Amino acid sequence: MSLVKIAGLHKHFGANHVLKGIDLDVAQGDVVALIGRSGSGKSTLLRAINGLETIDKGELVVDGTAVHDGKGDLRALRQKVGMVFQQFNLFPHLTAGENVMLAPTVVKGLSRAEAQDIAKEMLLKVGLADKFASFPDQLSGGQQQRVAIARALAMQPKVLLCDEITSALDPELVSEVLAVVRQLAAEGMTLVMVTHEMRFARDVGNKLIFMHHGRIHESGDPRQVFADPQTPELANFVGSVQAA
């Protein structure tokens, strides 16, 4: 029984056919790494899963909430799917704690006290318990991203989407964020990540999906796929990424 089921997904940006029929099943506990060149459609696919990109044709079902040909209850979907962004997108006028507390109070209707407890717990989980009252501009990039992860987790999503969450970080801050993600994976969180961190994908992921020109070109166990790419495109991609 898959947690995320995608069938026949098509997406156009104007005349550009960006997703050309995607079929994908994500089971509970899967850690899926979405890789590919820029323009391959990987970010678009990820953003379609929580409705930030509308679907032109096809089916998306997440834990029973369905979106068919772009029509569905997006708010219900978004309460099951969390997202962490490349640019963090923390709310600058709220403290770290308030950032985490916002959705539980406003969307789920929890009391301030309950939301505060959850926020403290989440910030502790990402190693930032002492930054509850700090504003985003007082935090480093790695800290901001961890707060962003805590903010998404506070809603207890079934699936966590990560859109190149380390790409905007200085190299020395990447590992602290990846450590949090590694821990989440170990605890059984279902993750779908667009990432350039190939080593991380290979070590932590249990499913690798290589996208090319809007289609899933190759997929499988990361260790296998990296060691023995079946298609020249993937071989090229892996080669170019490793050379970088």
CA distance 83 to 145: 11
Task: Mark residues 25-64: x for contact with other proteins by CB under 8 A, - for none.
Answer: -------------------------xxx------------
Handedness of CA 240, 183, 121, 62 (dihedral sign): positive
- Residue 143, H or E segment: helix 141-153
Strands 16-26 and 207-212: unpaired
Q: Is 70 in the site for other proteins (CB under 8 A)?
A: no
User: Which listed residue (54, 91, 112, 221) binds other proteins by CB under 8 A?
Assistant: 91
CA distances from 178 to 25, 98, 181 (A): 24, 24, 5
Q: Is 66 in the site for other proteins (CB under 8 A)?
A: no
SS3 of residue 139 by DSSP = coil
Contacts of 135 (CB under 8 A, 6+ apart): 92, 94, 95, 96
Q: Is 137 in the site for other proteins (CB under 8 A)?
A: yes
Nearer to other proteins, 52 or 61 (CB): 52
Q: Is 92 in the site for other proteins (CB under 8 A)?
A: yes
Cβ at position 42, least distance to other proteins in Å? 17
Cβ at position 155, least distance to other proteins in Å? 6
Binding site for other proteins (CB under 8 A): 50-52, 75-76, 78-79, 81-83, 85, 87, 89-93, 102-103, 106-107, 135, 137, 148, 151-152, 155
